[in-house]
Amino acid sequence: MSTLRPETPPDEEKKDVFAADVRPVTELESGAVKDGSLIYDNIPEGVDPNLVREEKVIRGLKQRHVQMMALAGAIGTGLFLGSGRTIRRTGPAGALIVYTVIGGLVMCVMGSIAEMSALAPVSGAFVRHAELFVDPALGFTIGWSCFYGSAVSVPAEWTAVAVIVSYWSDLNPGIWIAICILVTFATNLFFIRIYGEVEFIFALLKIALLIGLILFGLIYDLGGIPGKERIGFLYWQNPGPWGQGYYWPGEAKGQAAGFFISLINAVYSYSGVETLAIAAAETKNPRRNIPKAAKKVFIRVVVFYCLTIFVVGLIVPSDLPAIASNSGTAKTSPFTLAAQAAGVKALPSIINAVVITSAWSSGNHGMLTGSRALYALALEGQAPKIFRRISRFGIPYVAVIFQGSFQLLAFMAIGSDGASQAFEWLTNINSSNTLCIWIVIGICNWRMRKAMQVQGVSPDRLPYKAPGGYWLSQITIWASTFLILIGGFYSFLPGNWDIADFMSSYFSLIFMFVFYFGYKFIKKTKIVPLETSPVLQFMLIAEANPEDEPTPSKGAKGWFAKFWWD
């Protein structure tokens, strides 16, 4: 997209860059907006109005919706079904380090996405940020990568639900898959606020159940179960704080290999937090609400994950063979194994309920992510124009229907005996795709800040300035690149080569290169010059359209709101 930068006369270079005449949208010249409508009322002189062009989307998401959507997307089956492998390979101390390290990387990602989304709160978030701040080819690539990631992960979640429900029922698993598909369509095709409320409720339920499991683990560890002795830190002493490792069991190099593999598994567990801003154009007061949500989501996700892993490390020994299984049912969850040891018969059913709610809300969130990425691509002419169509509810319904059609892939898994291997492949594919997205987010933030430097705009003028600033993007880029490169290293170990494992680890990287250079070659796109990057224009738009101040809640509700999401 070509952008305009307000020209500043030489004798006025030191004047306030925000000193610009403002025009109401109604006074724009005919044809100034290519298609669709604008999401702001006032457009400063010299600013390209197409920067904030959308179809008639509705700002129906509040801060609590945005926060809970990100939490619901991040706390998925990976925490409950994949944490056992991490404990097995790295031990309780190693697992805690793994999740803390990736949590630190998530902090950098969230700071970067919050800065950009507060400045440019557009549908598709990083998909359009890549097009605006870096290169249209990169926006095209990450948009389709985001779509394909959702298209793969959503049916996998429904397959997990069907397998888990079979714990209670002998009905054909296809029935439960069909129910998931129909309910997901219903929540995604109507008002965005309905979707937000559904995700809000499921996220609260998921968090409540997770807190219950953590409390159970602590009670069991401290000897609160009748007839059971206190465990304390026994399993940190025997078999020890470090796990069995990988490929070379018991050896130092095996423990190092297990640590690096577990980093990739932890990325899978955290994946989804970056989509917090994917529906920025449908969020009320996004310049205030998205940064607030980013900070609180990061804190809660990291605390929940690290606390859960810490408790699991207390109550399950790392040399227990059962925790290395990936059967996809509650029987292999570390909490289930602990419940069996504690003699609590009802807990497997509770854990199944936790995993089902996690899988459904994660799949529902994946539908939103994929459809909004497709909608953002269509806005930029990088996907068929039909995907821009908006329903009377303000929903890009064609994009939702197309994204939803891939849910039918879940029926292919019925009767499959490869659930364990499928879960491993899903982890690798999802992790590598997530890391590619994180790299692009870091590049976009870096280019945005470089453009500000070249254009003489102070970072203090950003609607939201993340602590760490420039270094957040650098850590995001280089740490994510390192992780994606080592993601499939085990395929190169002697006797360990498997083409399926290799492709599941590196397919996303190959996909990115092919799509980026292919689109660049066909469309002859160029990297956006720092001098013409639209950062200044977005700042002018932000200044010309101040957001409403929030109305504080009073009484007990106000205290709860302030603690949890305000």
DSSP state of 514: H
Q: Phi and psi for 46 in degrees, rounded to 5?
A: 85, -5
Q: Pick the range with the lowest mean pLDDT from 281-295, 455-469, 473-487, 501-515.
A: 281-295
Instruction: For the beta carbon of residue 36, count every other beta carbon within 10 angstroms.
Output: 16
Give the C-alpha separation, 69 to 277, whole Å: 10
Q: What pLDDT does 12 receive?
A: 40
Helix 173-188 and helix 347-379, axial crossing angle in degrees, nearest 10? 50
Q: What pLDDT does 553 receive?
A: 55
Give the C-alpha separation, 217 to 237, whole Å: 18
Give the C-alpha separation, 438 to 270, whole Å: 12
Give the C-alpha separation, 84 to 75, whole Å: 16
Give the C-alpha separation, 428 to 153, whole Å: 11
Mean pLDDT of 282-296: 79
3-class DSSP assignment, residue 503? helix
Q: What pLDDT does 160 receive?
A: 73
> Is the pLDDT reported for residue 15 higher than 50?
no
Which pTM was predicted?
A: 0.84
> Is the pLDDT reported for residue 161 higher than 70?
yes
Give the C-alpha separation, 125 to 115, whole Å: 11
Domain-wise residue ranges, the chain: 58-528
For residues 381-402, one letter each, b for 16 or more C-beta atoms within 10 angstroms of the residue's C-beta and e for the rest, the string is ebbeeebbebeeebbbbbbbeb
Instruction: For the beta carbon of residue 188, count every other beta carbon within 10 angstroms.
Output: 23
Q: Say which residue, 164 or 83, is predicted with more confidence.
A: 83
> Is the pLDDT reported for residue 450 higher than 50?
yes
3-class DSSP assignment, residue 174? helix
| Domain 58-528 fold | Amino acid/polyamine transporter I (1.20.1740)
Q: Say which residue, 70 or 294, is predicted with more confidence.
A: 294
Q: Say which residue, 314 or 63, is predicted with more confidence.
A: 314
* Region class of 331: left (phi > 0), else alpha (psi between -120 and 50), else beta: alpha
Q: What pLDDT does 30 receive?
A: 43
Model pLDDT for residues 403-435, shown as the tens digit of each residue: 999 988 888 766 555 555 565 676 678 889 999
